[in-house]
Structure 1
Amino acid sequence: MTDTKQTSARAVIIGGGLAGAKTAEGLRDNGFAGSIIIITDESVAPYERPPLSKEFIAGSKSLPDFTVHDDAWYRDKDVDVWFDTRVTAFDPVVKTVTIDDGSHIKYTTLILATGSASVHPPIDGADADGVHYLRSIDDATALLSVLGEGKRLAIIGGGWIGLEIAAGARGRGTEVTVVESAAQPLQAALGAEIGAAFADLHRQHGVDLRLESTVAAITVADGRATGLTLADGTGIDADAVLIAVGARPEIALAEAAGLTIADRGVATDAGLRTSAPDVYAVGDIAAAEHPALGTRIRTEHWANALNQPAVAAQNIVGGNAEYTRMPYFFTDQYDLGMEYRGHSDGYTSVVTRGDVAGREFLAFWVNDDGVVLAGMNVNIWDAGDDIAALVEARRPVDTATLADPAVPLGTLLS
């Protein structure tokens, strides 16, 4: 017999990315019989975003390859997708969502899957034609149109997006200059030693890497970007500029509705429940209590958008699930493939084993007690499970043994 109470339920999902689509999938997989509405400000079905800076720019994938579900799936699962629609507010007291035409829709459960937006720093010339950001398929398509043999791209920011685009652009024959204010690329995420390995990688592939440099202005002629002027007066000529200096979690709706905010995200318990009744948050914006780590964390990783929705869906239909997966992300740049597991906050040293210069190594972020907080495998594909076990154990290990390739990782917890 169908539960009439559940049949009358309505789940509204704000956000048309991977997290939004996987929430709808999780609800149907867990027997949710009510109506489901996904509201997205884009004109295409929900898709994954990591390929935008990886395979799409490299030319090995097109949008259908990383679209989460095709149109038939949404019809078969009776999931409505409202395209080109922007949510302007929601009211957790009366349980309504307001959209940009001024109309309201009632919900019984609301899921915030709003993701992140590119940071737009106040740089002179940033509003010129030829200045790009990367967050959507439209952004990626526009960027792709300016890459190719004989073209010049200047990238502001040596983080993941900047370096992945640099690799894809070099693969298309584009001359690339990357300007980064830190001493090494990825220094904030990985530390100076590992950042230096990525610097060497990009220089070996012809990237002009300007470290400890800041941009004074984007140069403009006839309304179009023509390059950069650095703070020391150096000029860099370019046909296009990419600004890739970080992401900003989209939490304005939650803030305006009075939800608890933490770590620049929406605070949730381990089951992705926010401070408002029947409101959940998943993906980039979820600052979730993590039972295994004993702290609240928020990470802008693909794995959260992929896996958190299943936990939220179970709880929406009456379960009591917790999100316990360790943070995970990956990158592919030239001949370097990498996976990272864990959360390195509080680390005091980085321990490596293997050939760092040859880009076939493991790295571990360790605290003063010898506890492995995070681990990374670079071009070594049989170490992932052992790294995960070390991170999840939260137990001290001998760092000299950890660095010794002759000692199997799996024996360190024996």
Structure 2
Amino acid sequence: MEAPPLLDAAWYADAAVEIHPGERVQRIEPANRRLHLPAGTSLTYDRLLLATGARARTLSLPGAELDGVLSLRDQADSARLRSRIGPGMSLLIVGGGLIGCEVATTARKAGAEVRILESADELLLRVLGRRLGAWCRERLEALGVVIQRNAQITAFEGKGGCVRAVTFADGLRISADTVLVSIGAEPNTALAQQAGLAVRAACRWMPPASAPVPSCSSRVMRHAGRCAGVASARWKPI
């Protein structure tokens, strides 16, 4: 399933932006300012921005490869999850963040039995804080979502290659038809590592003097010290 383009071809042409759809960069030569593409072709650059996006975080637990253990990152993931939600179906959501709570609401309204497994002692704690997290939890519980806090998962159990249950550190076992692992995202850093950028949980910011080493976009960049983003509000009078 292919997502619709954000901008049409005319926009790129007017902006003098050259597009190479379907081509994946194989490696970067920072010293020569060169990108290597498939089929032996290459491109040169004056400045290079790495905007390689992110992927869904996964759990390295026994049974994570079972059919029915899903993540949610793109349109294909969404379609796969939607096909497994409906009356009489059971869904376990690992992670009580924004996406997990949103999916729980949708799945419950579609008639599925839903349970959220959250490792912290409250939902949305890092995003909204304890008070608003508790308020959201109460709204979900009112819809019939079962919420299990301080949950420590140890494995996914399956039968015939399909997930059937989740087990916990305290010995508890909960059955499920589908498990959605919704524990955030991690940056795609393979190209950055190959190019020589310092990579930990994200790309480390490189000052302009470090050129020709590429820069990372702010979405996956790590700065020294505490930082906060500033967003400019855009509004129109009604």
**2:51, 2:217 within 8 Å by CA — same for their partners in 1?**
yes
Higher strand share: 1
Once residues 250 and 78 of structure 1 are traced to their aligned partners in structure 2, the CA distance between those partners, rounded to angstroms, is 27
Counterpart of 2:67 in structure 1 is 129
Counterpart of 1:287 in structure 2 is 222
Unmatched 5+ stretches in structure 1 = 1-42, 45-62, 290-294, 299-324, 329-340, 342-414
Could you tell me how far 1:241 is from its partner in structure 2?
1.1
Could you tell me how far 1:150 is from its partner in structure 2?
2.5
User: Which of these residues, 172, 181, 186, is aligned with residue 243 of structure 1?
Assistant: 181
Say whether 1:105 aligns with 2:43.
yes
User: Which of these residues, 155, 179, 183, is aligned with residue 121 of structure 2?
Assistant: 183
Counterpart of 1:256 in structure 2 is 194
3-state DSSP of counterpart to 1:138: helix
> C-alpha deviations, 1:131-185, integer Å up to 9, x for none?
1111222222211221223222111111222122212222322221111111111
Could you tell me how far 1:94 is from its partner in structure 2?
0.4
Say whether 1:326 aligns with 2:222.
no
**Matched residues, number:** 233
Once residues 76 and 84 of structure 2 are traced to their aligned partners in structure 1, the CA distance between those partners, rounded to angstroms, is 13
1:348-387 equivalences under 5 Å are none
Could you tell me how far 1:296 is from its partner in structure 2?
5.3
AA aligned opposite 2:194 = A
Once residues 124 and 327 of structure 1 are traced to their aligned partners in structure 2, the CA distance between those partners, rounded to angstroms, is 41
Counterpart of 1:171 in structure 2 is 109
Unmatched 5+ stretches in structure 2 = 234-238
3-state DSSP of counterpart to 1:87: coil
Counterpart of 1:200 in structure 2 is 138
3-state DSSP of counterpart to 2:154: strand
Pair 263,234 (structure 1): closer, same or farther in 2 beyond 3 Å: closer
> C-alpha deviations, 1:181-239, integer Å up to 9, x for none?
11111223333333222221211121111111111211211111123122223222222
Say whether 1:277 aligns with 2:181.
no
AA aligned opposite 1:193 = R
Once residues 209 and 101 of structure 2 are traced to their aligned partners in structure 1, the CA distance between those partners, rounded to angstroms, is 34
**1:251, 1:266 within 8 Å by CA — same for their partners in 2?**
no
Give the alignment's Cα RMSD to 1 decimal: 2.8
Once residues 71 and 175 of structure 1 are traced to their aligned partners in structure 2, the CA distance between those partners, rounded to angstroms, is 44
**2:197, 2:203 within 8 Å by CA — same for their partners in 1?**
no
3-state DSSP of counterpart to 1:143: helix
3-state DSSP of counterpart to 2:26: strand
AA aligned opposite 1:326 = V
Once residues 71 and 207 of structure 1 are traced to their aligned partners in structure 2, the CA distance between those partners, rounded to angstroms, is 44
TM-score by length of 1: 0.50
Once residues 144 and 135 of structure 1 are traced to their aligned partners in structure 2, the CA distance between those partners, rounded to angstroms, is 13
**2:197, 2:213 within 8 Å by CA — same for their partners in 1?**
no
Once residues 297 and 262 of structure 1 are traced to their aligned partners in structure 2, the CA distance between those partners, rounded to angstroms, is 17
AA aligned opposite 2:89 = K
User: Which of these residues, 209, 214, 217, is aligned with residue 152 of structure 2?
Assistant: 214
User: Which of these residues, 52, 57, 63, is aligned with residue 119 of structure 1?
Assistant: 57
Once residues 195 and 188 of structure 1 are traced to their aligned partners in structure 2, the CA distance between those partners, rounded to angstroms, is 9
3-state DSSP of counterpart to 1:203: helix
Pair 150,119 (structure 1): closer, same or farther in 2 beyond 3 Å: same
TM-score by length of 2: 0.83
Counterpart of 2:236 in structure 1 is none
